[in-house]
Structure 1
C-alpha cells in the first residue's frame, strides 16, 4: 500500500527516551521539544525527523544515527523487543520485527522480499521529502543494534546497505559499522543479506516468554465472569491490543466492527467507561505477570502498554493499594 504525500506517521515514546539518553551521554543541551515528549506514549513522526535533523545540523557528525542507535535497550522498543526475544531463529526474529515494527517506528514501514538468494528489508514507502539521511540510517541501525546487542548476533553477514539520500563523504564510517558495501543515492533504502542467514539460531531465544504471551489472554479470559458475546469480544480485544500496544478505543472499536460511539454506549449500559474496563483487565494481567519471577517490572510495564515503569507502579498502587514489589513479595508466599 502506498502512502499519500501528506502521510504523517507516529513514533513510540521509548525512542524519545533513547534520544534523550544520547543528549545526556554527549552532554548536549536538551531542547524543549524533546523534553515535551518524554511522558507520551506516541508522538508525531515529523517531530522525530525534525529533532534528528536539528541535532545532525548542530553536531555535524558522520554516522550520527549509528551513534544514537548504539544506546538502544529493550525498553526503548517496547513490546516489540520482548516479542522478538522469544524467537528461535534470525528469520523468525526478522519476521516478528517486520510484523511489529510500526508499533515503534511508524515513519518508515518495512517491506520484506527475496531477490535471488538475498533477503531485502526495505524502507521505501514514505515520501522522499519526509525523510533525511539521519532518519534512514537510524531506522536501519536500530534494527541492526537490536539484532547484535539484544539478540546477541554479533557477526551478521550483510551483502549491501542502500540509502536513498546522497552522501559521498564519510562512506567508510558506514562501511566499517555495517561491515559491507554501502551505496548512497539508490532507488530505495534497504538492507540486503543472504537468505541462508535466516536459519541462524538465536542465543537469547526465550520460549518461556513466548508461551506466556500466547497463553496469557486465554488464561485471563477464563477468570472473567460469563458475559454476553459482545463483552467477551471486548475483553479479548483489549487483551490482544495491550500485547500489541494498540489498545486505544479507536483500535478496539474497529476490531469489534463498531464505531467508537457504539462501544461507548455499550459500556455506559454497564455503568462503565472504556478506561475503567481497560484498567480492570490491566490489573488482572499485572497480577498474573507478577507471579512470574522471570519478568522484571520494566518488562511487565511494557507488556501492559506503559512506556515507563513508574506509570505502571502508580497505576498498580491505585488498583491494589500495594506497590508491584509489595504485591509480588506477599503473594510469593502463597504461590
Structure 2
C-alpha cells in the first residue's frame, strides 16, 4: 500500500509560531506528541495531518491563517519537489513538476487540466477520509499562487478559485487571490490563465534541475512499482469524476494496459473495475454531500450516474439511507 506519511517541516512549525499560533496547543488539541517539534524528520498520517489542521482552526480562531501560512512559499521552500518547481523554466513546467513529483513527498495528488484559455490545478489527498480542512485548502492554494508569482516575478491575474465548501470568507479570499470565487464546486481548483504558463521563471536554475530530476525520476519509478493496481485505478477514476466516469478502456489506456489485462490483474488482486468504481463514487458522494450545498441531482451527475434513481439506489446500498437523509444526519 502507499505509505501514509506526511512530513511536518520544522520550518513550518517555526512559521506557525511566527504568525502567532500556539503550536504546542495545536499539537495537544490534535492529540499529537510535542516531540514532533524537535524530531529530525517529523511525520504523521493523513488522518493526523487533517486533525492537526482542524486544531489550527480551533486554536487560531483566525480565518486568514491558512493564507498567511501558505504565503510563506514566497520566501521559503520546504521540500525537494517545490524546489524543482521553483527552478523550472516557466510556470507551465513548474506546475507539471508539481503534478509529476508531489506524491513522492506525501500522499497528495496534484492534477493540472488544460483547455483553450485555462489551466486548472487541483490537489487531492489520496488516503483521506472526509473532506480537506478549510484552512489546509487555503494554505495549499496560497502556496501554489505564491510559488507562481515568486517564480515569474509578476503579479498574476487568476481566472478564478473553485472551492468545495459553502460560501465563507469570500472577501478575505477575494482580496488575497484577486479573482472570482465559486463556492459549492465539485472540486477544489485554482485556475490560471493558460497564456501565463508560458511566462519565464526568474528563479530558473538548470544546474539544480540537472542534479535533482534524475533522483526524482528514480524515486517515481520505485514508488510506481510498489503502488497496488487498485490504488492506481482509484486515482485515475477520482481525477476524472466530473460529470461522467471514465470507461474501463480509458482507465486501462491511462495505465498503459489493455482492458483485458486490467480486468485480469484486478481480479488477481481480489477486486474488479466495477468494485473500485463503486468505492470511488461512494467516497466522493459522502464528501460532496457533507462539504457542499450541491443539489443531489448535481452530485449524481458529477459521479457519472445517468439517472437520479440509480444514484439513490446505489447510495441506499452504501449507507442504508437516501442521500438527502444522510446529509441531514451528517449536518446535525
Q: Which TM-score bucket, shorter chain as reference?
A: 0.5 to 0.7
Aligned residue in 2 for 1:80: 81
Say if 2:180 is the partner of 1:181: yes
The question of 1:134 aligning with 2:135 is answered: yes
SS at match of 1:129: coil
* 1:212 counterpart residue number: 211
Q: Distance between the aligned counterparts of 1:121 and 1:12, measured in 2?
A: 22
Contact 2:77 2:83 in 1 (8 A): no
CA distance in 1: counterparts of 2:122 and 2:102, whole angstroms: 12
Question: CA–CA distance in 2 between the matches of 1:44 and 1:69?
Answer: 20
Tell me by how many angstroms 1:177 deviates.
0.5
Q: 1:78 to 1:91 in 2, by over 3 A?
A: same
Tell whether the 8 Å contact from 1:110 to 1:123 is kept in structure 2 after alignment.
Answer: yes
Distance between the aligned counterparts of 2:33 and 2:175, measured in 1?
A: 30
What do residues 55-77 of structure 1 show as CA deviations (whole Å, max 9, x unaligned)?
21122212321011122477653
4+ long deviations beyond 6 Å = none
Using structure 2 for the length normalisation, give the TM-score.
0.57
SS of equivalent to 1:26: coil
CA distance in 2, matches of 1:138, 1:121: 14
Matched residue of 1:82: which SS? helix
Question: Which deviates further from its counterpart, 67-76 or 48-57?
Answer: 67-76
**In 2 relative to 1, CA 92–8 (structure 1 residues): closer, same or farther, beyond 3 Å?**
same
Partner in structure 2 of residue 191 of structure 1: 190
Partner of 2:271: none
Q: Which moves more between the two structures, 170-179 or 32-41?
A: 32-41
Deviation at 1:94, TM superposition (A): 0.9
SS of the aligned residue for 1:192 comes to strand
Q: Residue 53 of structure 1 aligns with which residue?
A: 54
* Aligned residue number for residue 202 of structure 1: 201
Match of 1:12 among 7, 22, 34: 7
Partner of 1:22: 16
Where structure 1 has 5 or more consecutive residues not aligned to the other structure, the ranges are 218-239, 256-335
Q: Structure 1 residues 118-127 or 42-51, which shifts more? A: 118-127
TM-score (norm 1): 0.56
Contact 2:164 2:188 (C-alpha < 8 Å) held by counterparts: yes
The number of residues matched between the two structures is 219
For 1:166 and 1:140, the matched residues in 2 are separated by: 17
Following superposition, the deviation at residue 129 of structure 1 comes to: 1.2
CA contact (8 A) 1:12 1:77 kept: no
CA–CA distance in 1 between the matches of 2:3 and 2:167? Answer: 25
- Cα-to-partner distance string for 1:250-274 (whole Å, 9 max, x where unaligned): 859859xxxxxxxxxxxxxxxxxxx
The answer to whether the 8 Å contact 2:152/2:201 transfers is yes
Q: Cα–Cα, structure 1 residues 13 and 62, in superposed 2: closer, same or farther, change >3 Å?
A: closer
Show the counterpart of 2:170: 171
Larger Rg: 1
Quote the offset at 1:153 in angstroms. 3.2
Aligned counterparts of 1:254 and 1:8: Cα–Cα separation in 2 = 10
* C-alpha spacing 1:34/1:132, structure 2 compared with 1 (3 Å): same
Verify the 8 A CA contact 1:74 1:81 in the aligned structure 2: no
Structure 2, unmatched stretches of 5+, are 228-332
Distance change (3 Å), C-alpha of 1:118 and 1:47: same
Secondary structure at 1:191 match in 2: strand
Partner of 2:44, secondary structure, is: strand
Question: Is 1:159 equivalent to 2:159 in the alignment?
Answer: yes
Distance 2:84 2:129 in 1: 31
How many Å separate the matches in 1 of 2:15 and 2:71?
11
Q: Tell me the distance in 2 between the aligned counterparts of 1:202 and 1:40.
A: 30
Determine if contact 1:158/1:179 at 8 Å carries over to the other structure.
yes
Alpha-carbon deviation of 1:133?
A: 1.1
